[in-house]
Amino acid sequence: MMTTLIRRAIQAGFVVFAMTLIVFVGVNVIGNPVDILINPDLNQAERLRVVQNLGLDQPLWRQYLSFLHGLSQGNFGDSFVYSKPALDVIVERLPATLELALCAMVIAIVVGLPLGLYAGLYPERLSSRLIMTGSILGFSLPTFWVGLMFILLFAVQLGWLPSNGRGETAEFLGARWSFLTGDGLAHLVLPALNLALFKTSLILRLTRAGVQEVVMQDFVKFARAKGLREGRIVLVHILKNLMIPVVTIIGLEFGSLIAFSVVTESIFGWPGMGKLIIDSINLLDRPVIVAYLMMMVVLFVSLNFIIDICYTLLDPRVRLDGKG
């Protein structure tokens, strides 16, 4: 097992290094931030001074080496727009996006896993068919449209929930969180539900498919023949054996919730990283864009590494393959 994890860690390091090159080159060959950030009325000497201060007068390869040197020290450079370290700009917005993604994923797991399990165990029941019909709607409805309908119904028509911002926050572990206050929790409900809708449908359908595959296996039939309680069969034999693909999806989809919550954050005015990256792209704030993309790379690589560890815990065959 240890050998497998070390091999995975080395592979992850190579992936991160390769992505530094792809991200840096991809961002730096698109557009010229000088045209956006500098007043066009400035003379050539003043423009050259600003370009030199931003480090844009250096060859691309030298900029990349400087980027790697700064990256090794956790320094992505200063934001062109905010005039402070790009990583600090992103970290300020991280708690908002992180709590939104966590709440959405908790909703998706708590709702999707039991409903998928029920629909897989009792596929012929009317309630199961209604559940699967609802999951199709969750896949089909666009996130922006659902968000607008949520605002129209629960905020405008009924007036039950707020539709914009984070509300009141409380400090915990050095960051501000909305879920720790009643007002903040009320502001969190609609964007979290909107973000969780697609993920709930995905987990539900994957769980149902896994249940229908596992219940036909010989070990489940043997467990029933031994007279084991149905609850034990479901929890120990069925649920455990379908968790590998579910864990994969949960891990990767949690990363996508953090990385691609742009639409939901924009609709509900949620001050997270999604809105920040859109503003940074519009202004060609390269340090912020690169820092954000590298954070997402590290996030997905770390999630995959954690998923590999979960595999070894859930399926002994993975450990045996690692020894082979």
291 within a domain of the structure (yes/no): no
pTM: 0.74
Could you tell me if residue 310 is inside a domain?
Answer: no
CA distance 286 to 56: 11
Query: What was the pLDDT predicted at 322?
Result: 47
Torsion of CA 201, 206, 207, 209, to 10 degrees: 120
Predicted local confidence at residue 106, as pLDDT: 92
Please report whether residue 181 resides in a domain: yes
**pLDDT value of residue 306:** 79
Do the domain assignments include residue 157?
Answer: yes
| Whole-number pLDDT of residue 166 | 83
Domain count, the chain: 1
Residue 146 covered by a domain: yes
The burial class, CB within 10 Å (0-12 / 13-18 / 19+), for 160 is exposed
Residues in the chain, pLDDT under 70 = 1-2, 4-5, 27-44, 46-47, 50-57, 311-324
Q: What is the 3-state secondary structure (H, E, C) of the chain?
A: CHHHHHHHHHHHHHHHHHHHHHHHHHHHCCCCHHHHHCCCCCCHHHHHHHHHHHCCCCCHHHHHHHHHHHHHCCCCCECCCCCCEHHHHHHHHHHHHHHHHHHHHHHHHHHHHHHHHHHHHCCCCHHHHHHHHHHHHHHHCCHHHHHHHHHHHHHHHCCCCCCCCCCCCEEECCEEECCCCHHHHHHHHHHHHHHHHHHHHHHHHHHHHHHHHHCCCHHHHHHHHCCCCHHHHHHHHHHHHHHHHHHHHHHHHHHHHHHCCHHHHHHCCCCCHHHHHHHHHHHCCHHHHHHHHHHHHHHHHHHHHHHHHHHHHHCHHHHHHHHC
Ramachandran region, residue 39 (left: φ > 0; alpha: ψ -120 to 50; beta: rest): beta
Q: Does residue 274 form part of some domain?
A: yes
- CATH number of the domain encompassing residue 255: 1.10.3720.10
User: For 163-198, what is each residue's pLDDT tens digit?
Assistant: 888 878 888 877 788 888 888 888 888 999 998 888
Q: For residue 39, is it within any domain?
A: no
* Residue ranges making up the domain that contains 242: 102-284
Q: Is 305 inside a domain boundary?
A: no
